[in-house]
Structure formats: structure tokens, C-alpha cells
């Protein structure tokens, strides 16, 4: 299965206007954010339910994204929310930026009924949003993949797709947790998301996966 990795661009007019705003606020122009906004606006539907996967290796990369998301979420009127373990530095950053924390205490990644726990977290977030489209970042699943197994996280991702919340849902995972898992679980994780993004510093790469035949792989 070959993959095509590309960097999302922005047109000159948008890049110029966003560049000025980003410079004033000390944030980067994040192509992932623009892609999510483009998807939202192109459908022109208040019930859009987007579910993206984010892969990152270090806290600096994800924190750059979070600051960009914070800026665009404010401008777009989304309900800013997140969930995750209190030990996660990104969770603490979002708390500082006044994002609603939907994590239910006590949180334990090794608890027996994680599926029900995560379902209750999503229900609580949806209730708090009160029909307002969300911009939500879920660090719980990445923690489950790290502390328990990627297979368990994928099962919860699958259940979430049966009853998505209106708006934008981002699920960040650290790359070492995927690389140490089996290829089957990794592909299933990819398939549970609309799009896949890889962070490297302040750059965002979009990962494309297509099922191909051996013949096409050789001939191309």
C-alpha cells in the first residue's frame, strides 16, 4: 500500500491575510487548520461531523497546532473543548487557554470499561456544547494507545464513528505508539478517520492511503 505525502498549501490572498494576523498573535499558519475549515465551509452544513487523526512525535509540534486551533476556533465560533489525562502537557496548555475540559474524574487508562467511560465523556461534551459545533481535541485515546494498546483505542474510535459530535474532532497520537503496534491496528486506525495528518515542527503533512495491487505498484 503506497502512500502519498504532501504539504497542504494556501492561496496567496488567504495566506497574506492570515499571515498578518498570525504574526500579530505570535502563532503559525497551520495548514491542518485551514484544511479543516475548508472542509467545513465547502459543505455548508450545520451538522458536519469531521473526524481527523493527528500524528506527532514531540510536544512542541502539537502545541504549535493547538495555538493555531485556538485562534481559528475563536474566530469561527466553535465550542472549544478537549479531554485527556492531567499529566499531559497539551491538556494543561488547553486548560490555560480556557478550553472546556470534558474529562471525567477519576480517569484511569487501565480501567476495565474504557468504552463506556469514553462514551460518557463525549456525551458530556455534547451536552455542554448545547448544539454548538465543537472544535474538540481528544488526548484520551492516544493515552490509551500508549498505556494499554492501540487495538483498544481503535475499538473506541470505531464506536465514536457511530455517533459523532457535530463539528471538528481531532485525535492526536504519538508516532512511537503506532510504530510499536501491529500493522493491522495501524491501518484500522487510519480507516476510522476522515483524514490523516503528520506534524513536524510547524509544518503539517497530509497522508494519503490507497489500496493498490502488486501489478500497479510495479508498473507505476
Using DSSP bridges, classify how beta strands 100-101 and 167-174 pair: parallel, antiparallel or unpaired. unpaired
- Domains along the chain? 3-219 (3.40.50)
Kindly give, in sequence order, each residue whose CB lies less than 8 Å from that of residue 205, ignoring residues fewer than 6 positions away: 5, 6, 7, 197, 198, 199
SS3 127: helix
Residue ranges of the chain with per-residue pLDDT less than 50: 1-11, 14-15, 27, 29, 44
What pLDDT shows up at residue 16? 55
For the entire predicted model, the pTM comes to: 0.78
Q: How many residues does the chain have?
A: 220
pLDDT by residue (tens digit) across 78-101? 999 999 999 999 999 999 999 999
**CA trace torsion 68, 208, 141, 43 (10° rounding):** 60
pLDDT by residue (tens digit) across 21-34? 555 555 454 555 66
First-to-last C-alpha distance (Å) of the chain: 13
What pLDDT shows up at residue 7? 35
Amino acid at each position: 500500500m503506497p502512500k502519498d505525502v504532501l504539504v497542504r498549501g494556501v492561496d496567496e490572498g488567504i495566506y497574506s491575510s492570515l499571515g498578518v494576523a498570525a504574526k500579530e498573535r505570535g502563532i503559525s499558519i497551520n495548514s491542518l487548520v485551514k484544511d479543516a475549515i475548508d472542509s467545513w465551509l465547502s459543505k455548508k452544513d450545520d451538522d458536519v461531523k469531521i473526524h481527523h487523526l493527528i500524528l506527532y512525535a514531540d510536544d512542541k509540534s502539537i502545541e504549535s497546532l493547538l495555538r493555531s486551533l485556538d485562534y481559528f476556533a475563536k474566530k469561527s465560533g466553535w465550542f472549544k473543548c478537549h479531554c485527556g489525562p492531567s499529566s499531559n502537557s497539551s491538556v494543561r496548555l488547553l486548560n490555560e487557554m480556557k478550553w472546556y475540559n470534558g474529562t471525567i474524574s477519576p480517569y484511569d487508562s487501565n480501567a476495565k470499561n474504557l468504552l463506556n467511560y469514553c462514551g460518557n465523556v463525549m456525551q458530556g461534551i455534547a451536552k455542554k456544547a448545547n448544539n454548538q459545533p465543537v472544535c474538540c481535541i481528544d488526548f484520551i485515546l492516544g493515552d490509551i494507545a500508549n498505556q494499554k494498546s492501540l487495538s483498544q483505542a481503535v475499538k473506541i474510535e470505531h464506536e465514536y464513528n457511530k455517533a459523532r459530535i457535530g463539528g471538528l474532532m481531532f485525535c492526536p497520537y504519538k508516532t512511537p505508539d503506532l510504530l510499536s503496534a501491529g500493522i493491522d491496528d495501524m491501518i484500522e486506525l487510519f480507516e476510522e478517520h476522515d483524514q490523516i495528518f503528520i506534524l513536524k515542527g510547524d509544518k503539517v503533512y497530509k497522508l494519503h492511503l490507497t489500496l493498490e495491487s502488486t501489478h500497479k505498484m510495479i508498473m507505476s
